[in-house]
Structure 1
Amino acid sequence: MLSLINSKIFTLRHLSRGNRTSFDKSIGLFGIAVIQFSADPNLQKAVEIKRNLGRKYIWTGQEESQLLEAVEKHGTKWTYISLNYFQSTKSPASLSQKFTYLQLKRKRSSYHNPWTREEDEILKRGVSKYGVGDWISISKLLQNRDNVQIYNRWQVISKTKRGRWTDDEHKLLLDLVDKHGQKWTELSDILNRPAKCIQSYYEYNIVNKKWTAEENNTLYQAIKEYGENWDIIMKHFPYRTVNNVKFHFQYIVACNPNINKGKWNEEEVEAFDKAFKKYGKKWKLISQEVKTRTPQQCKDHIKRQLSKQLSSFFNKRSLS
């Protein structure tokens, strides 16, 4: 029975693009078909063409360089590059995929390269500008490092520091407070110091730091020469904030050359009375109306006036 099955041969006809290619198919042992193609030159040619087409997917070093050069000149115009640089042998989609791969490959090559001091400084500036966590924006500043590398490097260099502050740290803190406000947790990530330490340092060494006689004189001369041009004035106070200097200027008479001292004249009293009726106890606005007295002087002036009136009232009652 098996010998009969093995000996049974039949011929099938297979159509391939209009040409007939014959092959014998014999039913072998256990019903397994065995196909034997006849020698056909057209079939051999088709196989060779298919084999050659497969080779087109293998990129040469010259083609990779050509792709990078094309992207540098024309950007990601894949259809244009496919037509003019590769005669359409590479599809726009394959060009896009290859370029992405080359970019990743270039970044991976830097994985085992140690970070330079320049890269660390760029990373710190990036964190200062974009904030901790915006690694995508920061990675644009470091072309040879990816997001993961940048994140890992930040974890290494952002270890918490303690101890004496440097002049650079002091100035950086002033800049950060001006830009971001008193957000101590965020500043902690940038300055690599505990948030509470930064807050304490800021309040003790910047906000509440006692002004020296030399600083008072410097501010006095600067106001006299430049007016209230704070951009120029602040160049004389690199270790203080703008708000700190402005506050000191407004409330300390000795620092303001435009402020009168001693007894109030008639013009000042008249201007004060009008402003007080208009603004109430808004001393800053009253000071701007009087022009020659600080907010604190205006506040002290009304206290003295009330004290005199009360004294006069009680004196009259005692006499009566």
Structure 2
Amino acid sequence: MEIRHLRYFLALAEELHFGRAAARAHIEQSPLSRSITQLEQELGVPLFIRSRQGTSLTPAGEALRDHARDILTGVERARRAVARIGGQPNALRIGLSEGLAQPRLSELFQCWHRKYPDMQLRISELPSLQQQEALLTERIDMGLSFGAAQEEGLIVEPLWADRIMAAIPRAHPLAQTKSLTLASAAASCSLVFCHTRLKPGLRMQIEALLRARGISPILAEPVDTLAGMIVKVGAGCGIAFLDANHARTLQRPDVAIVPLVDSDAWLTIFAITKDGRQDDLSAAMARFVMLGRNMV
């Protein structure tokens, strides 16, 4: 049983879609399929049910999913132990999801480097679902995102909240206003959202605010990224909502950024860690959370 086969298996077990799993594993779909078939032949049992309705795990596949996580976790722990014995510097591995590129994050990372120069940060970008798997197998130590789907074994802690801003086409009448309510903005135009699969936390927070107001908005065609969302807004396809920090980085002349004045119109950034993890990096993770919360 090869480690790479277990990684491919886990990607498919999480995605339940050969195309998405192949993209996640950075291989073509054919070698992914062959690897899964080889693994099934080696184990002597089917791991997936393939049908016109889609792909699902067999009971044996569900059992292997849990064991695969344990095996891959052991590999990561061994890698860290060997690196430490070999004298490599300590590093806190952080995964960013949902296109997080806020100036405030950059300020937090710079503050960490000044305060804890002996503990490096290794920062990578991971889609939300991949971030959860990487946390559970300890490939990363902490995830930063707008939130995660409920996943057993993870701790989700708020870091800070930013005011929600409305991104409005410059030609739209509301572009001239100084501030808006969520209800008035949502009622004035179609809303541009990112795909739920790609930006689940961001969309989940906005949709919860809309539901609380009894609003069922008209939705424009979804986009993949926050930058793509602003492009669609600039093209006049609708209005979008985003946090104030991202609004600072995505401003453009064809889009007006207008703050929402509702008392609950805030988007929260969360730190996500593996539940029950106790090792040499646990204290560093706690310090990072505290530093993020204390930044003004």
**Interval of TM-score (by shorter of Structure 1 and Structure 2):** under 0.3
Structure with the bigger RCO (C-alpha within 8 Å, sep 6+) is 2
Larger radius of gyration: 1
Normalized per residue, which structure has more strand?
A: 2
